[in-house]
């Protein structure tokens, strides 16, 4: 049995704790958080739920806190044995170099407490301070998920940035569409089948190979008419830049 401590009680910690709890050959030993209240949800999963200073040593210690808190929190851990890992997309592995055995265990998914996650389908990006530590993380990775990939700090940083485009920016495009529907009092539901198809195409093809629309065709008449229909200057800007980016990408420079 490999014992695991988790430090942190946010969304990622919550889903990670459940996945570790359910994994064979791993036991969730302790969860540490700043307040009694934040620890409540974890009480049924871990043997210890406590203040960080009272944690007892485990084989693996996962620091699952906000990026800027990782170093500070790591310094408070009252033991030095085992492997210490964080789960951030953008923080370097070096943040934990004060521990001999350290690494990164980054689950590439968007977590919220209310939406259940099938952890088996969450890609885990791993990086470690030594080959044997990498093996430890790989084993843990495959106990929780079907997809585990060794990814360097540089690669992980770019992946994290790419995730902003995949999730944050596409979702804001959906939000603008939702606003346009609201303006005309038509239900956004009319666009949901298209949204679904858009995602399905990008799931099974290279996104660049399934691009369509006026910007791809460099259809300046439609583009001008669309910009004209937008009353919000910020939405106009978004429309202009994305159209320019698409037209440029497909090689039909203005």
Choosing from 27, 123, 153, 218, the residue that interacts with a copy of itself (CB under 8 A) is 123
Binds a copy of itself (CB under 8 A): choice among 37, 131, 206, 253: 206
CB of 12 to a copy of itself, least distance (A): 12
CA-to-CA distance for 244 and 234, rounded, in angstroms? 15
Q: Which is nearer to a copy of itself, 19 or 52 (CB)?
A: 19
C-alpha 104 chain-centroid distance: 14
Residue among 193, 251, 253, 254 that touches a copy of itself (CB under 8 A): 193
> Are 230 and 236 a contacting pair, CB within 8 Å?
yes
- Residue closer to a copy of itself (CB basis): 44 or 154: 154
Q: Is 90 in the site for a copy of itself (CB under 8 A)?
A: yes
Closest CA to 226 of 248, 147, 28, 217: 217
Residue 46's SS3 state is: coil
Element (H, E) at 7: strand 2-7
**Binding positions for a copy of itself, 5-44, rule CB under 8 A:** none
Q: Does 172 bind a copy of itself (CB under 8 A)?
A: yes
Name the residue nearer to a copy of itself (CB basis): 98 or 183. 183
CA torsion 94-151-83-1 (nearest 10°) is 170
Q: Least CB distance from residue 107 to a copy of itself, whole Å?
A: 10
Does the protein bind a copy of itself through residue 195 (CB under 8 A)? yes
Whole-number Å distance between alpha carbons of 107 and 228? 42
């Amino acid at each position: 049995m490999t014992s695991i401590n988790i430090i942190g009680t946010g969304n990622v910690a919550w889903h990670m704790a459940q996945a570790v709890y359910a994994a064979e050959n791993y036991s969730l030993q302790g969860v540490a958080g700043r307040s009694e209240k934040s620890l409540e949800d974890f009480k049924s999963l871990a043997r210890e739920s406590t203040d960080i200073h009272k944690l007892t040593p485990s084989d693996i210690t996962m620091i699952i806190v906000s990026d800027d808190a990782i170093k500070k929190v790591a310094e408070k851990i009252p033991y030095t044995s085992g492997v210490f890992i964080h789960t951030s997309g953008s923080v370097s592995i070096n943040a934990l170099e004060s521990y001999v055995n350290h690494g990164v265990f980054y689950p590439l998914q968007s977590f919220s407490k209310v939406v259940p996650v099938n952890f088996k389908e969450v890609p885990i990006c791993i990086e470690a301070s030594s080959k044997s530590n990498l093996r430890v993380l790989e084993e843990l990775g495959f106990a929780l998920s079907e997809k585990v990939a060794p990814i360097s700090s540089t690669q992980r940083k770019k992946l994290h940035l790419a995730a902003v485009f995949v999730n944050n920016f596409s979702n804001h495009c959906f939000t603008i569409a939702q606003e346009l529907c609201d303006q005309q009092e038509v239900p956004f539901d009319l666009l949901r089948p298209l949204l679904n198809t858009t995602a399905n195409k990008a799931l099974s093809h290279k996104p660049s190979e399934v691009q369509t629309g006026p910007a791809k065709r460099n259809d300046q008449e439609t583009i001008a008419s669309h910009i004209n229909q937008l009353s919000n200057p910020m939405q106009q800007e978004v429309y202009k830049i994305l159209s320019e980016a698409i037209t440029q990408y497909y090689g039909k420079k203005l």
